[in-house]
Amino acid sequence: MTLTEEIGKRRTFAIISHPDAGKTTLTEKLLLYGGAIHLAGSIKSRKTQRHAVSDWMEIEKQRGISVTSSVLQFDYAGCRINILDTPGHQDFSEDTYRTLMAVDSAVMILDAAKGVEAQTKKLFKVCRERRIPIFTFINKLDRYGKIPLDLTDELENVLGIRAYPMNWPIGVDGKYLGVFDRQKNQIELFAEDTTHGQKERASEIFAADDPKVIERIGKENFDALQDDLLLLDEAGEVWDKAKVDAGELTPTFFGSAMTNFGVKNFLEEYLRLAPPPAPRLSSDGVIEPEDEKFSAFVFKIQANMNPAHRDRLAFIRICSGKFERNMNVWHAQTDKLIKLAQPQQFLAQDRQIIDEAFPGDIVGLFDPGIFGIGDTLTDTAHKFKFEDFPTFPPEKFARVQAKDTMKRKQFAKGIDQLTQEGAIQLFNQVGAGTESYVVGTVGTLQFEVLQYRLKSEYGVDVLLTMLPFEVARWLKFSDGTKVLPTTLRGADRGLFVLDRAENPVLLVENEWALGWIRDNNPKLEMSAVPNASAI
Ligand code: G4P
């Protein structure tokens, strides 16, 4: 197969949703239909098995949530699918955001009874910023929920994205019989689910004007469907693939992941419409996936996945060319050559060594402690750097110090590595020395992860004191004078700290405090992140 053919068949995406909307269930059903598993239910059992093999997952076990993103790969209908899992818990982290940097499209799941929820909004915003195509699956149609028209309106009103319903449920709320496929102009009626969703669900397809349809669904349901379709055609969005590709129109599917209602059709339509790997911007202009020269970037680093070997894995997304085991590549950030031995791919927690991979694929590399998030790897004959990852504004802050001052060295090393991995953002309080640090994160869960990892990987018990701040602002005076605790009016209304590059940052409790600082320092410029590519 040529490089272009390999690229053309790849679909790399993430499923985004509020916790409990059905992400795990839908993922599992995609694997079921893709033939990667034979009975639904294995992911859940995998969830429990996983704890036995990895002590890093201890926190998962305690909290009953998924802390880290995993990667799944399988084939379906001639496509090679890479699903990047994003933790749906509300204490989510930068990890989730970064995972979204590595995908070409996203599937957004809504619970039909709940519509757009808080976490959906946050994740959607990140996808929107990246202008990637977003496909919506409205789940749990097997039970009572909001009516379909209200749900598509909600997408438009709450998220501000236009929705094009690809199918439309037939029947009444809580007891839908099938769906009308608007692209194929046909009706699919489902048989009863007799396997509790463990196996594919049988269905029958009818032409839209087949007289048998009225017999099967009844006149009332048939008339209601005609009314809805008329409304969609006259007042709804017009199909426009270019708008889908630009992330402005979301193809919307109705279904139930649990009962396999509408799942197969969703998967097939998604694979048909979702984009293959996209070009990426770099210091050397646009890098096309078809470029023969290999390139990739690191989007995630995960330590201690296997307690038997204290390993650290860097996950790379391949952007161009062909990846081969044992190849030598150039690491832009250190300007060094690196041999990529023992590259790994994943099916949930099962790993295997691979010999080759292509744009869109995710590969795990052993990391001897040299990689950072956003790092670029390229062919030695074509050196460049991909655009920096955006930094996300930290919202939670804590002061961290080693309980045992004798362990200061390990403590500093651990903190440094975790900062490099991107698990935390590090600040120094002016004049506070190196005994304690101020750490910023996107969610409070990361503090637990921090404590756990400093203990298990560096043997350091830490004292963690939450700070009352929720907003960080990087500071600059427009006339170029230095921002110091003494030159900033009201610096004592928050905590004046320096980031790793020694830029001044003020942590404050709320927007009101920020307003006061702004009003009293006319020359002050403030930004939520250190660089301009902020979200
Ligand atoms: P998440 O990964 O997005 O957090 O959601 P997950 O798939 O774990 O689903 C959350 C709950 O919603 C689960 O129930 C799951 O069975 C249920 N669910 C998922 N899809 C559907 C659907 O189409 N219809 C209905 N009625 N329920 C659905 P649970 O009680 O928390 O777990 P379990 O006991 O079913 O495993």
Residues within a 6 A CB radius of ligand 1: 17, 19-25, 44, 88, 139-140, 142-143, 256-259
- Domain end: 273, 293, 320, which one? 273
The answer to the question of residue 335 being in a domain is yes
Q: How many CA atoms lie within 13 A of 501 on its CB side?
A: 7
Burial 415-453 (b: 16+ CB within 10 A, else e): bebbbbbbbbbbbbeeeeeeebbbbbbbbebbbbbbbbb
The answer to the question of residue 347 being in a domain is yes
Specify the 3-state DSSP secondary structure of 27.
helix
Q: How far is the CA of 63 from the centre of ligand 1 (A)?
A: 18
Can you give the CATH number for the domain in which 308 is found? 2.40.30.10
Q: Are 346 and 407 found together in one domain?
A: no
Q: Are 190 and 54 found together in one domain?
A: yes
Can you give the CATH number for the domain in which 189 is found? 3.40.50.300
The answer to the question of residue 101 being in a domain is yes
Residue nearest (by alpha carbon) to ligand 1 atom 22? 140
Q: Are 325 and 413 found together in one domain?
A: no
Q: Are 248 and 303 found together in one domain?
A: no
Range of the domain at 231: 10-70+80-273
Token pair listed for 80: 């090679």
Encode the chain (535 residues) as per-residue pLDDT tens digits. Answer: 999 999 999 999 999 988 889 988 888 888 888 776 665 554 544 444 333 333 334 444 444 434 344 677 888 889 999 988 776 555 556 777 788 999 999 999 999 999 999 889 988 998 998 899 999 999 999 999 999 999 999 999 999 999 999 999 999 888 899 999 999 999 999 988 777 777 788 899 999 999 999 999 999 999 999 999 999 999 999 999 999 999 999 999 999 999 999 999 999 999 999 999 999 999 999 999 999 999 999 998 876 555 555 567 888 999 999 999 899 999 998 999 999 887 777 654 456 778 899 999 998 888 887 888 889 999 999 999 998 887 778 889 999 999 998 888 899 988 988 887 777 899 998 777 767 899 998 878 788 888 888 888 889 999 999 999 999 999 999 999 999 999 999 999 999 999 988 899 999 999 899 999 999 999 999 998 775 433 3
Q: What is the total count of domains within the chain?
A: 3
Q: Are 259 and 142 found together in one domain?
A: yes
The answer to the question of residue 38 being in a domain is yes
Q: Where are the alpha helices (DSSP H) in 218-262?
A: 219-235, 241-245
The answer to the question of residue 5 being in a domain is no
Q: Which of 30, 117, 138, 258 to mutate to test the pocket of ligand 1 (most atoms within 8 A of CB)?
A: 258
The answer to the question of residue 390 being in a domain is no
By the 8 A CB rule, do 175 and 149 touch?
no
Residue 190, H or E segment: strand 186-190
Cα separation, 182 vs 169, whole angstroms: 11
Cα separation, 377 vs 318, whole angstroms: 9
The answer to the question of residue 75 being in a domain is no
By the 8 A CB rule, do 336 and 304 touch?
no
Q: How far is the CA of 167 from the centre of ligand 1 (A)?
A: 22
Q: Are 364 and 446 found together in one domain?
A: no
Distances (CA, A) of 436 to 131, 407, 414, 508: 40, 12, 13, 19
Residue nearest (by alpha carbon) to ligand 1 atom 4? 20
Q: Are 268 and 284 found together in one domain?
A: no
CA angle 6, 7, 10 (to 5 degrees): 95
User: What residues contact residue 369 under an 8 Å CB cut-off, 6+ apart?
Assistant: 312, 417
User: What residues contact residue 300 under an 8 Å CB cut-off, 6+ apart?
Assistant: 69, 95, 98, 99, 102, 314, 315, 373
Integer distance in angstroms from the first to the last C-alpha of the chain? 39
Other Cβ atoms closer than 10 A to 505: 24
CA dihedral sign, ordered 38, 40, 44, 48:
negative
Q: Are 341 and 261 found together in one domain?
A: no
CA dihedral sign, ordered 173, 179, 185, 187:
negative
Cα separation, 448 vs 398, whole angstroms: 11
- Domain end: 252, 273, 294, which one? 273
CA angle 416, 418, 421 (to 5 degrees): 110
- Domain end: 344, 378, 412, which one? 378
H, E, C per residue of 336-355: EEEECCCCEEEECCEEEECC
Cα separation, 343 vs 321, whole angstroms: 16
Q: Are 240 and 331 found together in one domain?
A: no
Q: Are 147 and 269 found together in one domain?
A: yes
Q: Are 414 and 506 found together in one domain?
A: yes
Q: Which of 15, 16, 18, 25 to mutate to test the pocket of ligand 1 (most atoms within 8 A of CB)?
A: 25
Cα separation, 198 vs 40, whole angstroms: 4
The answer to the question of residue 146 being in a domain is yes
Q: Are 330 and 459 found together in one domain?
A: no
